[in-house]
Structure 1
Amino acid sequence: MDRGAEPVAPRRELDAAGIGDPRLRRSYRHCRQLHARHGRTYFLATRLLPAPRRPAVHALYGFARWIDDLVDAPDPRTRAEQPRTALRTAQQRLHAALRGDGAEDRHPVLAAVVDAVRRYSIEPALFDDFFRSMRMDLRPRTYRTRAELDDYVHGSAGVIGLQVLPVLGTRCPVERAAPYAAELGRAFQLTNFLRDVGEDLRRGRVYLPAEELAAFDVDRERLEGCLRTGRPDPAVRRALSDQVARARAVYRAAEPGIRLVDAGARPCVRTAHQLYGEILDRIVESGYAVFDQRVAVGPARRAGAAARAAGSVLATRWGTG
């Protein structure tokens, strides 16, 4: 494809990253499109990164989205075996591609993610942890304790923070910043669990620890009753309030890590931390209306936060901040 026919923003990012191979450029553009379509808040924050670093984040998001879509098969008759087989095949293809077997050549996502792994020395074992959690989603289940849920969240979200960290860069040894990166990924995931209670119930999943819900006389049956009515009852609102407080504690634990990332990446991380955290505010303001809608931060608020962060980026680059 003639580079002149590429959209301007992707072209500039790929050129800045020194990605010239047409096959790679197509793969990175595909991942960027997935990111823009499905991860609006995260995509907006990514645009605050220096341009050379953005394609790798798009690739990591595109990979996670691809695998997530394999798990959430639209036909319930295929949930038992087809997604399991698809996950196994995807994991094998990723490892083959990382070995240099050319398995990525004909795949719209793999080429970019393999290139990003090599460019930033991302630990391949993190992807195995991710696949393990994705396999846990193949059977409807309830997480009994916080420890059980944390085991799932490490692979589904904590490792995403660890994958992205080398792309962001750090101003300290990576090992010092890594726990904060994993914690921020966990905070984002806990927010998604609260926002998507109704959607997850429709898929047979509950990502809220049963013993914590039980403290408020809430169980799966009660949640399903709220799904049928589209409204949380008082006990469920109290239980969800408790879960929001727990998620906010994770955001507070992750926040000190923002100053450990490279200065050029800090506005991106701070904006993601702020906007995802505000989803919790919207959930509370809605009266915990998570059974019949998907609560979100409005476009104007997202744009305003991004504009302020962009001002910080410019000030830093021009030496005025």
Structure 2
Amino acid sequence: MTIKPIIDFDAYSQEFAYCESIIKKHSKNFHTAFSQLPKDKARAVYAVYAFCRRADDAVDEYQDAQLLAQMSTELQALKDAASDQARLALYQKKTDPDQAIWRALAVTFIKFDLDYQPFFDLLTGQEQDLSFEQPVSELDLSNYSYYVAGSVGLMLLPILSSHAKEIQEPAKKLGEAMQRTNILRDIGEDLRMHRIYLPKETLAKFNLTEKELFLGNQLDSFIDMWEYEAMIAESLYEASFEMIPLIDQDCQESLLSAALIYKEILAVIRKQQYQVIHQKQAVSKQRKLQLLFTAKKMLRQIDLEVN
């Protein structure tokens, strides 16, 4: 068992606060769930999220391949550093906001012994988005979803579980489920950016062209296609829940809450009659609170089944 070094997260409270401001701004769903974690684990999640967000912005906001390459270089330097002190020294004299993220991330790597490969994989996924090509098959979509989302599940596992190596597959499934949920929520927004993440083969199966996608719920075939994709996402959520007993007890509620809140986006879209072309659906604050209680109930049931 790896003995984690003693490191004072409070000494980097400003850096972690900056990372938390990023997750608050860009993902209220994740912040609602993961803010329930023990303090240092929550801050570690915020640091990982801030890294992922920065990579995402490099593509969606700036279309900047150089920024992605710079992030890869920084990550390699962090990996290659000869000691924990050397990792921290990489960022001590730099003051720009990006370096605050890297300082928080360096502390997180030291404390939780994160695996570097998923971070590199995420950057690979973002590079794919710079030269975006519509996936042909569901397998293509699954592979893409690993690089941009399943990888995030693997990033977080060492923070959330002392059994991280044993539950990598369900963690990747949860990431894919969330990515597929994003795609189903953002069809209209993506169309306006000239992107279609829905596989060509699936659209052909339902006789949908790009032009017809813009009609959205005016077409029964669109609703049928949407439900086909939603069922795949929902099956992935269910499969991912098998990892919950091997998540640390003080993290189970937060992780399950995050999954339930994200899954609920699909239910909201159904209630809103599949309005995803001109509206971006979201889970209400009241419903999020209800799902936090649902997570508690599910965990009690899981505990009874395990014991």
Alignment of 1:148-167 (within 5 A): 148-167=140-159
Residue matched to 1:218: 208
- CA gap of 1:108–1:174, structure 2 versus 1, over 3 A, is closer
Unpaired runs of 5+ residues, structure 1, are: 1-16, 314-321
- CA gap of 1:48–1:190, structure 2 versus 1, over 3 A, is same
Residue matched to 1:293: 279
Residue matched to 1:194: 184
Aligned equivalent of 2:234, options 243, 248, 251 = 248
**Amino acid paired to 1:104:** Y
How much has 1:240 moved relative to structure 2? 0.7
How much has 1:306 moved relative to structure 2? 3.0
Residue matched to 2:25: 37
Whole-Å separation in 1 of the counterparts to 2:297 and 2:222: 41
- CA gap of 1:48–1:20, structure 2 versus 1, over 3 A, is closer
Unpaired runs of 5+ residues, structure 2, are: 1-6, 300-307
Residue matched to 1:104: 91
Residue matched to 1:86: 67
- CA gap of 1:199–1:25, structure 2 versus 1, over 3 A, is same
Indicate if the aligned counterparts of 2:150 and 2:175 stay in contact, CA closer than 8 A.
Answer: yes
Residue 127 (structure 1) aligned with residue 124 (structure 2): no
Whole-Å separation in 1 of the counterparts to 2:132 and 2:258: 30
Residue matched to 1:56: 44
Residue matched to 1:207: 197
- TM-score calculated relative to the size of structure 1: 0.82
How much has 1:97 moved relative to structure 2? 3.3
Residue 144 (structure 1) aligned with residue 125 (structure 2): no
Indicate if the aligned counterparts of 1:48 and 1:310 stay in contact, CA closer than 8 A.
Answer: no
**Amino acid paired to 2:102:** L
Whole-Å separation in 1 of the counterparts to 2:218 and 2:153: 32
Matched length: 283
- CA gap of 1:103–1:198, structure 2 versus 1, over 3 A, is farther
Residue matched to 2:302: none
RMSD: 2.2
Q: Percent identity?
A: 27
Indicate if the aligned counterparts of 1:126 and 1:159 stay in contact, CA closer than 8 A.
Answer: yes
Residue matched to 1:46: 34
Indicate if the aligned counterparts of 1:153 and 1:186 stay in contact, CA closer than 8 A.
Answer: yes
Residue 185 (structure 1) aligned with residue 175 (structure 2): yes
Whole-Å separation in 2 of the counterparts to 1:206 and 1:312: 35
**Amino acid paired to 1:180:** P
Whole-Å separation in 2 of the counterparts to 1:146 and 1:118: 37
Residue matched to 2:108: 116
Residue matched to 1:234: 220
How much has 1:308 moved relative to structure 2? 6.1
Indicate if the aligned counterparts of 1:267 and 1:310 stay in contact, CA closer than 8 A.
Answer: yes
How much has 1:36 moved relative to structure 2? 1.1
In structure 1, the residue corresponding to 2:9 is in which secondary structure?
Answer: coil
**Amino acid paired to 2:153:** G
Deviations 1:127-154 (A, max 9, x none): 1111100001112321101111112111
Whole-Å separation in 1 of the counterparts to 2:201 and 2:42: 41
Whole-Å separation in 1 of the counterparts to 2:288 and 2:164: 30
Indicate if the aligned counterparts of 1:48 and 1:309 stay in contact, CA closer than 8 A.
Answer: no
Whole-Å separation in 1 of the counterparts to 2:35 and 2:61: 30
Whole-Å separation in 1 of the counterparts to 2:218 and 2:149: 27
Indicate if the aligned counterparts of 1:41 and 1:276 stay in contact, CA closer than 8 A.
Answer: yes
Whole-Å separation in 1 of the counterparts to 2:239 and 2:76: 34
Whole-Å separation in 2 of the counterparts to 1:198 and 1:103: 42
Whole-Å separation in 1 of the counterparts to 2:243 and 2:129: 29
Indicate if the aligned counterparts of 1:35 and 1:62 stay in contact, CA closer than 8 A.
Answer: yes
Aligned equivalent of 1:259, options 219, 222, 245 = 245
**Amino acid paired to 2:35:** R
- TM-score calculated relative to the size of structure 2: 0.86
Deviations 1:233-252 (A, max 9, x none): 22111111111111111111
In structure 2, the residue corresponding to 1:20 is in which secondary structure?
Answer: helix
